[in-house]
Structure formats: structure tokens, C-alpha cells
Chain A
């Protein structure tokens, strides 16, 4: 046992190693990605680990490993669970032999996500147990024990940390790594693993029969606990429980829910000892709905009567305010100082030398009234450059593009998608667009890595999660196999070629694919690539501002004229934009 200052996701990875875990799969997604990044970078590994191409693929692989008796972990962000929902729902019927833990990290406030959905709803929906940590220590301990819990119930267990668990830090006592190795063995059992109607009806009944034992066990193990201290109670779950504890006054009862399903009898016994219960939780009122079902004539405050917001994340300040509104005096009150006004915002921005920027620039030049469906990745920041018109979910750039094109829209539809997102769920959309005769252009922004979430390798990177070299997949061959006849690959730093290929594609019928390929500037720099910097000759610069409007963080204004700072990575695109020829290679003095 050691005490360390750990990131939540690192504590989760350590918990898995203490269990131990034998088989790890997942698809990167903030805030879940560091768990596999830590496990795959360990110098010594006695378990299997992969970055899968999407979450459905990841879960099915992990489920198979658990059927073979291994302890398996599958990680994803909350929206990834939508992709994996198909195997999830039926895995509850088949159950598992080895422990299967599905980590689905929720993101209240959508810090880095397209929505604020609640993975606990999937637990209710699938009737699977769900663990919901309120501290980093608890996250470590819960995930360590979740594998055994999964084996005890023969059910997959959903583990649901939120952003403020995954990306917070704390002093954490971690248990030593266990090295108990298992070898997977599949035992044929069609009644369990072949879900034809005759089998699945039986399996469904078995799943329902397991529920009372699951509920009781979660209370017995202390995941759900309570202390009665007065006529008023606060019930809280997840990180919100930590916020409540910071301002909980004496004489107010407290119940912490850390696991689902909740035992209604136990909950009812607690609730009915009080005159009023306040339920504090982020996202969906999962706990509140359970409390309201058993409350009888006890007054309940929460989201459903407008006392707690449905959206966003909570904080100690927010919780103190909610308590006051419900007539509970918090042990500490906060003033509400307002931020200084008129401070220019500093949003995240595509890196200096990022290959996405010239592509968006060229698209806007060639398709002045084009429609630009896009996708999930760093390139969503192309919104700032006016080249992203839609983003909904992974892979949807292509399908939204074909949908718009087939709707009778006359303008050019030009979709953008990254290499990893294309391989994740983009391919079926491309196949569909070609098959059904859509007229559109797809630009694959191929930077050879899953950049946004921390540069995880994918099949286009030429290596596995653990760095084993493998042949990179050919995006050109995939597109051609989907039936695309116009597939052109172009260097996005070569603006002339980029513009001419876009113009050519505009004139062709059907689905056209342009693959713009350059390694991500961050991975390129890490691998030692140096291109040399550029500079502006102030004598020649006419202060026209075209290079500044390009939006590269390496290009500033020094007075009226342009100036290139030391963020320059040497892509050379601005040289091709400058009408005065004022930008050239840096001359060392």
C-alpha cells in the first residue's frame, strides 16, 4: 500500500491492477482516456490491452473475454455507451463468468462532450448494477472490488465516474498490484450464449430474479449508507455527496448512494424517519425518483420541484444555495463575487501548424456557399473558422452530408471527418452514401492519430496501443471498396494542390473523397520532426491582415504589421497565403 497524489483516472487504473484485470479494451473519450493510457504504458504487463476501433467493438471483445473467465475492463465516455448499447442490453441476459467492468465516464456541464446524458439510466434500463464513486479513493476501491462483485452476481457491472472524479486529484492509498494470471477458456453453453427467443426468455427471467440479491448486497457492502441525525435529511450521490459533506450542518441526516439498484425497503425505512428529504445529484434524477416512490407523505425536494437544476454540474457553492432554499442552513455560506467584465475570451484553438486549418481555409475559398457537416475531434474547432456547420455524434458528418444532399439542397455539401472517427463509425455512412447515389464531397482529415483525447494510436497509426508496429490501414482502399471512384490524397500544407483537388472534385458526380494527410503537429514534434520556422519581412508586409485572419496562433500583429512568434512549427501555409510575398524562412542571425 502506498499513498500518492493521483489523478482520478490513475487511481482507477491502479484499482484495476490490484484486482487484477486480465483484459482491457476501450475507445478514447474525455474524461475516460487516461485509464487505458496508463495501463498500456506500463513497462511490465501481464494482461491484454487494446484500443478498439469503437465502443461496441470494445464491449463485445471484453464480454467475450469475461465469458472465457477473465476479468475484463472496457472503458469509454458516456456517449460511447450509446454505441455499445446493443451488446450492453443483452449482456445483462447472458451474464458473465469472469468479472466484466464497463467504465462509462459521465461529463456533467459537458466540459468536453456533446451532451450531458447519465450512464446510471443505462444501468436502470439494462438492470445491471452500477457503482458511482464520490471521491478518488472510493473510485480506486470500488473498481478494485467491482470485478469480484461482477463475478458474485454473474453480471457485468457499470462503473460510472464523472469528470470531477476522473480529472480531479487527491491523496490516495493504492493497493499493490496483483499478478494472479488467468488463461481464458470458452465453455460451450448455447442456453446462455445463443440468445434465440427460447433462450432469451429464460435469461430475462433469471436477470429479474437476481435483482433483490443485488440490492441487498450493495447495502451490506456499505456502498449505500446513511446516518440519522435529525428530522431533515439530505440524500446525495457521486461527487455531489462530497460537496454536501463540505457544508453539512450538525443535526441533518445524510444518506450516500454509491451503487444502484437502490434497495427500496432500506431507502423507505430511512426516508420515512424524516419530515423532509432533499436529494442532491448531478444529471438525471435517478436517486430522486427512487426516493419519491417510497416517500409517502414525506416532503421531497429535488429536481422535480425545481430546487435542484437538471443541467450542468454542481459545486459546494451550488449545494449550499440549494440547502438554503430548502430551509437547511449550510455550515458555510459563500458570497458571490462577479468576474471582471471585458476580458477577451481565450477559447481552445487549433495548434500552430495544424493540418486541419489549411483544409478549412481551402474549403471556404472553393465552396463560398458550401454546407459543411463535420464530426467529433480537434477539427470541431473549425467552427471558429466558419467551416463546421453541424456536429452531432461520431461518424455523423458523412450521414448528415448525404441526408442534406438527398434533401434537394442545391449547394455543395462538403463533410469533414478525422481518421479515427472515420474508422469508428464513418465507414457505414460512406458505404450508404455511395450505394444510394448521394452527391457530396468527403474530406478525411488524416493526421494518423486520435489527437483530441491525447494522441492514442488507431489502425491508421501503424502501431497498436502497446506500440507494436502493424501495417497502417489504407483509407484509400477502404473508400474504394465502399465504391467511391474519385479518391484523391493530398498534402494539406500544399495549398495549391489542395485548392485544385477541391475544385476538381466539385465538378465530379457522386461521392468524392479527398484524403488530406499530414501527421498531427504534436506527434510530429514528439517524434523529432523539425521543419524550421518562418518570419515576416516587415519591409515587404503591407499589413493587409490576410495571414492574421488565417487564425494561426503563431501569427500575431506587431503594430499594424504581421509577426510570427516562436509557436511557428514551419508548415509554410502562410507563405502561400501572403499576397505580398513577405513571409519567408527564418534567417538566423
Chain B
């Protein structure tokens, strides 16, 4: 029995994980593959920590076991750290190089997590940091961050890039197809540097 290729996406409610998950699911359909997924819905999304599981060629349950994900796509570095234990020892992590500080940290006057310290703690994983905020702005809309991340991570996914791009074009709002095509390509270029260069952060 062939095992599924498991991708965990993590981030903050409102960052577009559900659309990103749908894009990967659509790419599976384009390539005629089975797929299972699960994601956080409902009130937990209100600015909370959210996760999306996608199991390419999956045939059973939708949940990825800790320590087994082949790829993690993190929309926030703090969330990358929170879920890092889901990654297999030889898995890859593609993370947005930004941190949104949880409001509760400010309210409680707790220590504000330091970006460099978080990056240090992620060392040891194969880490590709992408400035998705800047690339999304360059593509034409800050909302295209999720597609930038898919582009960057596409090097580590078992899909033909054309399947992913077709899936993006099918699922994003019609008016934003050009922006998202840009976002995908910009992400892909950023990800390629990771693939070629030093994989360790």
C-alpha cells in the first residue's frame, strides 16, 4: 500500500488556510489522485491558531500523525514552532518570516517572542523562510500571501507545478487571477533559492 504525502499547513485564523487547502485538493483532482484533508472551522478561527491537514493520495482518515508530515507550510513563524513536532525528521518546513504577536501576550504583559530566537529554535529542521508579506504586496495584494506560500513550497510537493497553477487559477476569485498567478511565480522563485541554497536556516 502506498503511503500518502502529508502536508500540514499552520497559521492564524483569517490567513487563508482554507483556500490554500482547497488549492492543494484541486491539484490532486487535476492529477487524478485521492486526497483527504481536515481544517479548523468555526469560532476557533477568530484570530486563533489554525491548522490544515492535507494527505495527498490519502485514503483513510484526514489527520496527520505527529512526527510524520513530509512538509509543513507555516504562515507565521510562531505557529511553525508550535507545530514543528508534526514534521517527520527528514521533512521540510516552508515558513513565512513574520510573527503576529498574540494579543494575549500584550494584555498579560508577557515576554514578546523574539523573531531571531524563534528562528534559532527552528534550526535543525530543513527550513525555508519566505517573506510572504513582501512578495504578496509585490504580486499586487497582501491577501495573496497564501498563494505565495504554495508557490514557495511547490518545490517540495509531489505535483507538477502546472497542476498547482491551474488549481490556483480555478479557485481564486476571478478578478484576482492575475495577481495570484504573480504570487505563485514569486513564491516559486523564492522557494527555488531555498532548494538550491543552504536548507538549514
Contact A170 B37 (CB under 8 A): yes
Binding site secondary structure of chain B: mixed
Contact A111 B85 (CB under 8 A): no
Cβ-defined partner of B101 (8 Å) among A339, A347, A454, A556: A556
- Give the residues in chain B near A346, CB-CB below 8 Å: 12, 47-49, 78-79, 82, 102, 104
Interface centre among B45, B46, B49 (most CB of A within 10 A): B46
Supposing A5-B35, A112-B44, A553-B47 touch, asked if A168 and B62 sit within 8 A by C-beta, the answer is yes
Supposing A169-B38, A344-B104 touch, asked if A243 and B60 sit within 8 A by C-beta, the answer is yes
Instruction: Categorize the interface residue count of chain B.
Output: 35 or more
- Give the residues in chain A near B86, CB-CB below 8 Å: 337
Alpha-carbon distance between A31 and B12 when the two chains are bound, in angstroms: 20
Supposing A169-B25, A384-B104, A555-B106 touch, asked if A340 and B121 sit within 8 A by C-beta, the answer is yes
Contact A334 B68 (CB under 8 A): yes
Contact B66 A336 (CB under 8 A): yes
- Any chain B CB within 8 A of the CB of A171? yes
Chain A proximity of B34: nearest CB distance (Å): 5
List CB contacts (< 8 Å) of A50-70 with chain B: none
Contact B28 A171 (CB under 8 A): yes
Instruction: Categorize the interface residue count of chain A.
Output: 35 or more
Supposing A5-B28, A346-B48 touch, asked if A452 and B103 sit within 8 A by C-beta, the answer is no
Contact A378 B60 (CB under 8 A): no
Chain B binder among A218-226, A400-408, A469-477, A543-551: A543-551
Contact B61 A338 (CB under 8 A): no
Alpha-carbon distance between A557 and B101 when the two chains are bound, in angstroms: 10
Supposing A111-B42, A351-B47, A557-B106 touch, asked if A316 and B65 sit within 8 A by C-beta, the answer is yes
Supposing A317-B66, A334-B65 touch, asked if A344 and B41 sit within 8 A by C-beta, the answer is no
- Any chain A CB within 8 A of the CB of B160? no
Contact B42 A171 (CB under 8 A): no
Interface centre among A239, A348, A453 (most CB of B within 10 A): A348
Contact B42 A349 (CB under 8 A): no
Closest to B37 in A: A169
Interface centre among A34, A337, A338, A346 (most CB of B within 10 A): A346
Contact B67 A336 (CB under 8 A): yes
Cβ-defined partner of A170 (8 Å) among B35, B48, B65, B83: B35
Closest to B47 in A: A349
Contact A348 B107 (CB under 8 A): no
The digit string for B78-95, where 1 denotes a CB below 8 A from any CB of A, is 110111111000000000
Alpha-carbon distance between A75 and B14 when the two chains are bound, in angstroms: 26
- Any chain B CB within 8 A of the CB of A485? no
List CB contacts (< 8 Å) of A302-342 with chain B: 315-317, 334-340
- Any chain B CB within 8 A of the CB of A217? no
- Any chain A CB within 8 A of the CB of B185? no
Alpha-carbon distance between A338 and B84 when the two chains are bound, in angstroms: 9
- Any chain A CB within 8 A of the CB of B22? yes
Contact A340 B85 (CB under 8 A): yes
- Any chain A CB within 8 A of the CB of B178? no
Using a CB–CB cutoff of 8 Å, the interface residues on chain A facing chain B are: 3-5, 30-31, 34, 111-112, 164, 167-171, 239, 242-243, 245-246, 315-317, 334-340, 343-351, 378, 381, 384, 452-454, 545, 548-549, 551-553, 555-557
28 contacts between A and B (CB under 8 A): A3-B29, A5-B29, A164-B61, A164-B62, A169-B22, A169-B35, A169-B38, A171-B35, A242-B61, A246-B60, A315-B63, A316-B61, A336-B66, A339-B85, A340-B82, A343-B82, A344-B78, A344-B113, A346-B79, A347-B48, A348-B43, A348-B46, A349-B104, A351-B46, A351-B47, A453-B42, A454-B42, A552-B103
Using a CB–CB cutoff of 8 Å, the interface residues on chain B facing chain A are: 12-13, 21-22, 25-26, 28-29, 33-49, 58, 60-63, 65-68, 78-79, 81-86, 101-107, 109-110, 112-113, 121
